[in-house]
Chain A
Amino acid sequence: MATASLTSRPASRTAADPGEHVLRRRRKVWSYVAMSALAVVFLFPLVFMFVSSLKPDAQILGDVGSPRAFLPVGDISLDNYFGVFDRVPVGQFLVNSVLVTVLTVGLGLVVNSMAGFALSRMRWKGRSVVLAIVIATLIVPFETIAVPMVYWVSKLPTLVMEGGILKYDFGWLNSYHVQIVPFIANAFSIFLFTQYFSTIPKSLDEAARIDGAGWFTIYRRIIVPLAGPAFATVAILTFLPAWNQYLWPLMVVQQEELRPVMVGMQYFFQLNTAWGEVMAYTSLITLPVLIVFLSFQRAFVSSVAASGVKG
């Protein structure tokens, strides 16, 4: 009796303990199984893209029915990439996209952070009106104004050099500035800056004012150096849409040498679709973004999370 209870008690305890243990472990295993399966789902098209960009067209189509579609096997070469460079001015497209992206993001950081500064830390007449405009424009998706905007920019004045004389003309179509200027000011960026700046103690401004600093100096020397995370967030959130612009340049840029990478893709569909070259082109324009993302993934993740906090 005594021995039985002695043996049964530890036995029951060990049965309970591993019970929970096993359950937790089983959940863990299933979580990994589920996440790995999902990882395959999310990655296979991209793996297929990169792998196919190295294969001749016939082999891409031939490999579709087997796992070879995802493996760099068979007739592997960079021929498709050379083909792409031969057929379309990819270099020019890449330069255009980099230029448009860098200027849109860079000028956006300056213009929107200054606005955020004035809105969050200064008192001036009309402040509440401007704030109301910013909040109201937050919800306007670009697609709603795209069509009227084409009409609008086709009427805007622009300066041109003609035979050494500076003249002005009408119409912003087919230019770099039509791809950049409309996207510099961004209500959401202003909103993020305003929020971030208002968390910095106001006493810093007052101290600087007493020392005789002007408002712009306070912005540049005190607030900007303290707001690194806000600048990183806005840079990341404006970088992707700028690089991925499609609808707008499709409508306002017909001149080949001004087109960005996403619109440049159209060249491949006018001819017989050469899938190997298409894959090489899409790989080429996806890689820069993937590299930026993977190098700054922590910042990316927190930026996106920050964009959701506003709700």
Chain B
Amino acid sequence: MTTSSSIPTPLLAAPEPGAAAPPRRRRIAAARRSEGRSGLAMVAPALLLLVLFLVIPVLLAFGLSFTNARLISPNPPRFVGLDNFVRAFTADPAFLRSAINTFVFAVVIVPVQAGLGLLLAVLVNQKLRGVTMFRVIFFVPVVTSIVVVSILWKFMYQKDGLVNSFIDTITFGAWQGTAWLNNPSTALGAIIVLSIWQAVGFHMLIWLSGLQTIPEELYEAARMDGATPWQQFTNVTWPGLRSTMVFVLVTITIAALGLFVQVDVMTQGGPVNSTTTLVYHAVRKGYREMETGYGATISLIFFVLVLIVALVQRFLTREKD
């Protein structure tokens, strides 16, 4: 195949009196134009979908939160200013309860899940036979749907469920458990435990990939200097895990702030709002009670929290680059 056949047709058709072959510069310009068109064409489907189902909904969350829009209504949405925000912070105790619960959930789960994940990662990072099998086992809950996991644990948390019969066995009947999910003082804690159980394997793998980027020679050098395993960890492992740590903490925080399924399946926010969360409340108001405008307001507040976390991540990783 000769190069002339690759020249775009408009160029061939262009009358070029005086020149036998089109000048090189014009050919390059034409190639650029076609590259520009093809590039745009290839990115267009993804771009269109992202705009339709991400950018517009985000803008809608902003816009609708200043209106009284309803999901099904004969009237068009009306601008109500900051009414929804005022309502959230002054006239909706369930919202404040949701914000507090979400905060408590995140504050407990972030360090515990990150710490346990690291512990698991260190365990399965050893050169031991069968260690891959343990990695797979610890990861099994992650691939199990959180809906299924929530139902299973709901059954186990019953008054006469597995959790209580286990407690009964190890304390020789000295301590009787409660119906964990029906007790306002234990329900959120119960959800925290199962959430960690389900997701910690994911962060184990993230930590593990971080651990494996640390060169073995550093450990050899440390051992040569007589460092104990704990000293090796604090002087070699931990400094090498900085960017992994930021990533793990941020992903857990954002996921924790979005807590919804466990609550929806297990407690519906109860008992007495002790497990309601921001997302659960947004869905309850914005969808089930059809107050789209108010639901958008709660979503927006949640979004601002996520943005803050993301900005903190930017700040923490900035000096590295």
A positions within 8 Å CB-CB of B: 27-28, 31-32, 34-35, 38-39, 41-43, 45-46, 48-49, 61, 64-65, 69, 111-112, 114-115, 117-119, 122-127, 130, 133-134, 137, 139-141, 143-152, 154, 181-185, 187, 190, 209-212, 214-216, 219, 240, 243-244, 246-247, 250-251, 262, 265, 275, 278, 282, 285-286, 289-290, 293-294, 297, 300-301, 304-311
Contact = CB atoms under 8 A, between A and B. Distances in A.
Interface of B: 1, 3, 5-6, 31-32, 34-40, 42-43, 45-58, 60-61, 64, 69, 71-72, 120, 123-124, 126, 128, 131, 134-141, 143-149, 151-153, 155-156, 160-162, 165, 168, 197, 201-202, 205-206, 208-210, 229, 243-244, 246-248, 250, 254, 257-258, 260-261, 264, 279, 282-283, 286-287, 292, 295-296, 298-300, 302-303, 306-307, 310, 313, 317
Given A43-B140, A285-B145, A305 B299 contact: no
Contact of A289 (B144, B243, B248, B264): B144
B35 A124 contact: yes
B247 A311 contact: yes
B144 A290 contact: yes
Contacts of B57: 145, 148-149, 152
B39 A118 contact: yes
B147 A143 contact: no
Given A115-B47, A185-B49, A146 B124 contact: no
A247 B260 contact: yes
Nearest to A247: B260
30 contacts: A28-B128, A35-B124, A42-B138, A42-B201, A45-B153, A61-B160, A65-B165, A122-B39, A130-B47, A144-B61, A144-B306, A145-B61, A147-B61, A147-B282, A147-B287, A147-B299, A151-B64, A151-B296, A152-B60, A209-B31, A216-B38, A244-B146, A246-B264, A247-B264, A265-B147, A278-B151, A286-B148, A301-B135, A307-B206, A311-B244
A137 B55 contact: yes
B134 A114 contact: no
B126 A31 contact: yes
Contact of B292 (A143, A148, A275, A289): A148
Contact of B46 (A190, A210, A216, A247): A190
A308 B247 contact: yes
Nearest to B46: A115
Contact of B143 (A216, A240, A310): A240
A152 B5 contact: no
Contact of B136 (A123, A297, A310): A297
B308 to A, nearest CB: 11
A308 B153 CA distance: 28
A140 B64 contact: no
Contacts of A127: 39
- Most chain-B CB neighbours within 10 Å: which of A34, A64, A65, A117? A64
Contacts of A209: 6, 31
A215 B39 contact: yes
Contacts of A247: 260-261, 264, 283
B42 A219 contact: yes
B202 A304 contact: yes
B101 to A, nearest CB: 15
Contacts of B138: 38-39, 42
A241 to B, nearest CB: 10
A28 B64 CA distance: 59
Nearest to B209: A305
- Most chain-B CB neighbours within 10 Å: which of A34, A240, A265, A304? A304
